[in-house]
Amino acid sequence: MKFDTPAGQNPIDRLAVVGQPIERIDGRLKTTGRAPYAYERHDMVDDPAIGVVVGAAIAKGRIGGIDLAAARASPGVLAIVTADTAGTLQKGKHNTARLLGGPEIEHYHQAVALVVARTFEQARAAAMLVKVRYEAAPGRFDLAAQRDSAPLTGDEGHEKGPLVERVGAFEPAFDAAPVTLDATYRTPDQSHAMMEPHASMAAWDGDRLTVWTSNQMIDWGRSDLAKTLGIPKDKVRLVSPFIGGGFGGKLFLRSDALLAALGARAAGRPVKVALTRPLMFNNTTHRPATIQRIRIGATQDGRITAIAHESWSGDLPDGGPETAVGQTKLLYAGDNRMTAMRLAVLDLPEGNAMRAPGEAPGLMALEIAMDEMAEKLGLDPIRFRALNDTQVDPAKPGRRFSQRRLVDCLEDGAKRFGWARRAAQPGQRREGHLLIGMGVASAFRNSMVMTSGARVRLDRAGLVTVETDMTDIGTGSYTIIAQTAAEMMGISVEQVNVRLGDSAFPVSSGSGGQWGGNSSTAGVYAACVRLRDAVAQRLGLDPAQAVFQDGAVQAGGRSVPLHQAAESGEIVAEDSISFGGLSKRFQQSTFGAHFVELSVDGFTGEIRVRRMLAVCASGRILNPRTARSQVIGAMTMGVGGALMEALAVDRTRGYFVNHDLAGYEVPVHADIPHQEVVFLDDPDPTSSPMKAKGVGELGLCGVGAAVANAVYNATGIRVRDYPITLDKMLDRLPRIA
């Protein structure tokens, strides 16, 4: 099905099932421990061997030699895979560094060997006996030091999008503006820190490979695994029905899956591999650090006339920039604009997507800058944002936002949160030794759509089964897909069986970039349209007239139970949805507002978040319960980004030092006392027949700045360097008592 006109009325609009706060249909499996994750697929093969990954102990250089004798002689060892023995490997499309290093080493903890043994303990003991002789080379590990070596690539097009974009003439407009801001912000390297580690189990059957893994994008992973191994894609099956968190860290094929496949081939039996937690931080991808310079010029009455956002980030050779300027192209009006990304070469581990790549770190900077600018103008921060709202793409005035309720989100949130109680002057509200502050930030994330397919079956019992390679990374995909099929076929969620995450099923959008909820359900919608036609035909009813409701099909005064259509045999229908030109004609984005109230201890600088509110306008909400879970999880992650999370870079040896969950801090429940989420009614007919968008990333976008702005409101201390740890405030805290 091609979708290239705004959606009119369709069966989804009944909202009998879609839009309802239905509990997760996979919830019971998860809470009872019966949802099988990749490392636990003992049911699929007998007695798999275990592979343990050896990571490089240098960040850059070469392997001079590997001595495997002691490891080979160690008890239980079945095989050892290194670049020497693995045969020719290609590089996948989605990874920058090779997943099995050697002799060249591209980053610290790049895999250099897999030791396969009968048990985990044997494999681990033998892995420690692998002796690698390294020839280290100097590397570039410090973004700030490399900043000047990161030139603009120029205004010409670039493979990953133009790095410099201009509208009007920024510099003269900025110079002429009566009120200006020129400030620089820093965000650190961050790790996804999902609960389930990267894990895979691989089994060969002749030349056919099956990998049970934990991967957000089945078709990307399947393609890259086939490409890397140099075998036909149709010989590879990827299975990933349950995923214990991804956050972008599992968008791509990683070393666990490749090495499990290589290990299984070498050992001649199934092998499973999980990355240990200390390997994950340097072996896999991370969100790259940024340095962001923002300049804003405005009239005395608060209208932005000039805005520039430049971002520096680093990555391995052939990597890409963190696209931290993306939102600044679209969020606020202003005739003269410049955005630029500058990319330095760094020999740190591979930078790549982490939840809301681009907007998440970009808004951490931009939304502090907006707060600073509002203060210079003597305007309330919400009023300043509302004054500079735009309903068109500022670079292409003919291109409207399909829906844009940013100001509604800000104003609705202000009422609910009690924004009027905020003191405009910082440092005014005190409770004993505690300084109390409130902060706000806009939330913005682009809304992408992806081709997505599904197969649906109706059986004799009237049950519908949906099959698609869509994944559920903890987001609720199972549930919203069941709701979609139930709504389309006029049955209840209990009558729908959802099967996900298997490359044997039709290719879906996968879970990434917050496109999965809308795109994958739209694909199920398309397949159900076909199934409805087939059902009507079998029953001799006019498909155009047929109404599917209460387990029956009605047309021309007749009502026939749905299951009757399948009495002579199961009916199978398959289709996919692809999105035509609508996202070219309309700018599709999601909007919200984040509010934070917190206290800062006047003696110690300790920050305690008290209340948070997110108001989101983000298309139709397919399930308010699962959507709310997404947003509160994202808000929690935003607090982590604001106050705790940072990978500490060893600038001499080139690795992330705090590579475990003891050293890489994320919030716990006690850090987040009260969160509220409100969704404005906002179905978007240009987004898909579902009229939905995403919220999973929107919920994170802006949170960090709302926290930073609240810290400023509490203390008068502007911290522009995340995370906002108390050492950055201690010597500037206002005198109390």
Catalytic residue annotation: 697
Nearer to ligand MOS, 384 or 444 (CB): 444
Compute the least distance from the CB of residue 618 to ligand MOS, in Å. Answer: 16
Measured between its terminal Cα atoms, the distance across the chain in Å is 69
Compute the least distance from the CB of residue 181 to ligand MOS, in Å. Answer: 30
Q: Scan residues 194-223 and list those touching ligand MOS (CB under 6 A).
A: 216
Q: Which of 265, 295, 337, 355 binds ligand MOS (CB under 6 A)?
A: 355
State yes or no: residue 619 binds ligand MOS (CB under 6 A).
no
Binding part of the chain for ligand MOS, among 16-24, 58-66, 247-255, 715-723 by CB under 6 A, reads 247-255
Angle between helices 477-489 and 516-538 (to 10 degrees): 30
Q: Which of 357, 413, 490, 619 binds ligand MOS (CB under 6 A)?
A: 357
Q: Which of 241, 246, 638, 640 binds ligand MOS (CB under 6 A)?
A: 246
Cα–Cα distance measured from residue 555 to residue 538, given in angstroms and rounded to the nearest whole number: 13
Compute the least distance from the CB of residue 217 to ligand MOS, in Å. Answer: 9
State yes or no: residue 512 binds ligand MOS (CB under 6 A).
yes
Q: Which of 17, 116, 251, 289 binds ligand MOS (CB under 6 A)?
A: 251
Cα–Cα distance measured from residue 735 to residue 716, given in angstroms and rounded to the nearest whole number: 12
Report yes or no: 384 and 302 within 8 Å, Cβ to Cβ: yes
Compute the least distance from the CB of residue 422 to ligand MOS, in Å. Answer: 33
Could you give the C-alpha distances from 176 to 15, 180, 302, 389, 452, in angstroms and in order? 53, 9, 14, 22, 49
Compute the least distance from the CB of residue 633 to ligand MOS, in Å. Answer: 13
DSSP one-letter code for 299: -
Cα–Cα distance measured from residue 289 to residue 311, given in angstroms and rounded to the nearest whole number: 10
What is 181-241 written as a DSSP string? EEEEEEE--B----SSPPEEEEEEETTEEEEEE--S-HHHHHHHHHHHHTS-GGGEEEE-S
Report yes or no: 226 and 453 within 8 Å, Cβ to Cβ: no
Q: Which of 52, 58, 354, 717 binds ligand MOS (CB under 6 A)?
A: 354
Compute the least distance from the CB of residue 248 to ligand MOS, in Å. Answer: 2
Cα–Cα distance measured from residue 6 to residue 687, given in angstroms and rounded to the nearest whole number: 8
Cα–Cα distance measured from residue 349 to residue 191, given in angstroms and rounded to the nearest whole number: 11
Binding part of the chain for ligand MOS, among 205-213, 350-358, 374-382, 527-535 by CB under 6 A, reads 350-358
Cα–Cα distance measured from residue 341 to residue 361, given in angstroms and rounded to the nearest whole number: 13
Nearer to ligand MOS, 123 or 703 (CB): 703
Report yes or no: 720 and 368 within 8 Å, Cβ to Cβ: yes
Compute the least distance from the CB of residue 480 to ligand MOS, in Å. Answer: 17
Compute the least distance from the CB of residue 95 to ligand MOS, in Å. Answer: 15
Nearer to ligand MOS, 314 or 512 (CB): 512
Report yes or no: 482 and 443 within 8 Å, Cβ to Cβ: no
Number of residues that bind ligand MOS (CB under 6 A): 11
Nearer to ligand MOS, 465 or 583 (CB): 583
Q: Which of 394, 490, 513, 689 binds ligand MOS (CB under 6 A)?
A: 513
Cα–Cα distance measured from residue 151 to residue 340, given in angstroms and rounded to the nearest whole number: 10
Peptide bond into 723 cis (omega under 30): yes
Closest residue to ligand MOS, based on beta-carbon distance: 248
Nearer to ligand MOS, 247 or 722 (CB): 247
Nearer to ligand MOS, 354 or 635 (CB): 354
Report yes or no: 426 and 713 within 8 Å, Cβ to Cβ: yes
Nearer to ligand MOS, 225 or 251 (CB): 251
Binding part of the chain for ligand MOS, among 53-61, 242-250, 593-601, 669-677 by CB under 6 A, reads 242-250
At 485, give phi and psi (nearest 5°): -65, -40
- 69 Cβ neighbours under 8 A, 6+ residues apart: none
Nearer to ligand MOS, 516 or 592 (CB): 516
Compute the least distance from the CB of residue 511 to ligand MOS, in Å. Answer: 6
Binding part of the chain for ligand MOS, among 240-248, 384-392, 411-419, 532-540 by CB under 6 A, reads 240-248
Q: What are the structure tokens assigned to 346, written together?
A: 């760094």
- Beta pairing class for 552-555 and 558-561: antiparallel
Could you give the C-alpha distances from 185 to 54, 478, 700, 705, in angstroms and in order? 37, 39, 18, 11
Cα–Cα distance measured from residue 174 to residue 181, given in angstroms and rounded to the nearest whole number: 9
Cα–Cα distance measured from residue 225 to residue 231, given in angstroms and rounded to the nearest whole number: 8
Binding part of the chain for ligand MOS, among 23-31, 349-357, 547-555, 711-719 by CB under 6 A, reads 349-357
State yes or no: residue 427 binds ligand MOS (CB under 6 A).
no
Nearer to ligand MOS, 122 or 446 (CB): 446
Report yes or no: 263 and 49 within 8 Å, Cβ to Cβ: yes
State yes or no: residue 353 binds ligand MOS (CB under 6 A).
yes
Q: Scan residues 694-723 and list those touching ligand MOS (CB under 6 A).
A: none
Q: Scan residues 44-63 and list those touching ligand MOS (CB under 6 A).
A: none
Could you give the C-alpha distances from 321 to 228, 289, 524, 650, 715, in angstroms and in order? 24, 10, 34, 21, 34
Binding part of the chain for ligand MOS, among 98-106, 320-328, 348-356, 678-686 by CB under 6 A, reads 348-356
Compute the least distance from the CB of residue 473 to ligand MOS, in Å. Answer: 7
Nearer to ligand MOS, 369 or 470 (CB): 470
Nearer to ligand MOS, 511 or 715 (CB): 511
Binding mask 528-567 for ligand MOS (x = CB under 6 A): ----------------------------------------
Binding part of the chain for ligand MOS, among 112-120, 166-174, 243-251, 606-614 by CB under 6 A, reads 243-251
Cα–Cα distance measured from residue 387 to residue 548, given in angstroms and rounded to the nearest whole number: 47
Compute the least distance from the CB of residue 356 to ligand MOS, in Å. Answer: 7
Binding residues for ligand MOS (CB under 6 A):
216, 246-248, 251, 353-355, 357, 512-513
